[in-house]
Amino acid sequence: MRIAIIGAVLIACGIAAAAGGVLPVEAVEALALRSAPILGFVVAMTVVAELAAEAGVFRAIAHRLAVLARGRVIVLWLLVVVLATAATVFLSLDTTAVLLTPVVVAVAAHARFSPIPFALTTVWLANTGSLLLPVSNLTNLLAAERLGVHPGDFAALMWAPALVAVLVPVILLFVLRRRELLARYEPEAPIPVRDRPLFAIAASVLVALVPLLVSGIPVWIPATAAAAVLLVVFAVRRPAVLRPALVPWQLVVFVCGLFLAMQAAHELGLTGALGIAAGTGESPVELLRLAGVAAVSGNAIDNLPAYLALEPFAESPVRTAALLVGVNAGVLITPWASLATLLWHQRLVSMGVEISWGRFAALGLVVAPLTVGLATLALAVTAG
């Protein structure tokens, strides 16, 4: 509810700025045309992910992985790394942080081994793993729309930093938690699927949706179609699941408020200092400079407004990629740096798993600079 209140306040400020002539009507119209398809995609994908989770798709996958690992925590963890990365890349970071985290943590708890490495894996990879495709992160959608690139071209630009941004936190997590990860456990039998036809349809929709999201079709179209199919199926088989909370209206209000606030800030010239700090050019040093400023800004004010504030100073595709490395892979220190992180922590607390923000920040101070630095250098090498 707090983010909705903040968003409503920002929207009110934006309206006041427009009424006072600070924010031109033309700028507001252009912002609306740009943001409407993106927000439509976010809403549709949230509905798809929530309904797929209700159908038991993610739970079934996680329990199947637990069986495949045959009692070896390290094997299960590596399988979860693959699953979390795939979920982030194709279904967005929120799917991983919000829906996958409780599932893998529950598997760990039932098998009686520490859930902490699995919890950290999901939240770190939800953020650092969200570089490869436009659909992986809202910041990517904004960047891809601005650059006008096909998902394949976006992936061709981002593949090296995306790979490094996954490998660095995984390696560090193994080093830090290797004793727990090298343990063994007794696998439990998978939980039976409650409604097999519903499960089959939800799984089929996800399988069909993934290639459509990278086909070049505007992503809101297949996402909306998938959401419509699942809504109809659930209306027939489990109508009680359909509730207003499926729509992330608080997030939409918050994002709309941020869009208006940052547009007004640009019009007033308030982001100029960030432009000076971000520098210019595409040399490795300049890309590291931009990515570093982006990471610091993201941890200070949240990654989405940080992206919006720095976007005008990322004049080329390569500089835009460096900006994304900073605001996606670098926001691992403060709780508010990524909305997905806040939602992740909320889910953990509800399951009785405690990770203090102090410890989270301390670990983030190690993994974030290394991830951003190495991923940016990978970008400089492959894009140069």
CA count, 13 A, side-chain hemisphere, 55: 25
57: containing domain: 2-383
Residues 143-187 have pLDDT tens digits of 998 999 999 999 999 999 999 999 999 999 999 999 989 988 877
CA count, 13 A, side-chain hemisphere, 245: 4
pTM of the model: 0.85
Report the distance separating Cα 8 and Cα 244, nearest Å. Answer: 19
Report the distance separating Cα 247 and Cα 262, nearest Å. Answer: 24
Other Cβ atoms closer than 10 A to 180? 17
pLDDT at 290: 97
Instruction: Specify the residue for token string 């976006």.
Output: 154
The list of the chain residues with pLDDT below 70 reads 1-3, 189-190, 270, 384
Report the distance separating Cα 170 and Cα 191, nearest Å. Answer: 28
Q: In the chain, how many domains are there? A: 1
Using alpha carbons, list the distances in angstroms from residue 222 to 40, 44, 211, 213, 268. Answer: 11, 9, 10, 7, 38
What are the beta bridge partners of residue 72?
184
Q: Where in 59-217 does DSSP place strands (E)?
A: none
Closest to 31 measured CA to CA, from 321, 335, 349, 264: 264
pLDDT at 218: 87
Q: Which two tokens stand for residue 231?
A: 């809504």
Q: Where in the chain does DSSP place strands (E)?
A: none
Report the distance separating Cα 181 and Cα 172, nearest Å. Answer: 12
3-state secondary structure of 72: strand
pLDDT at 190: 67
Report the Cα 27 to chain-centroid distance in Å: 27
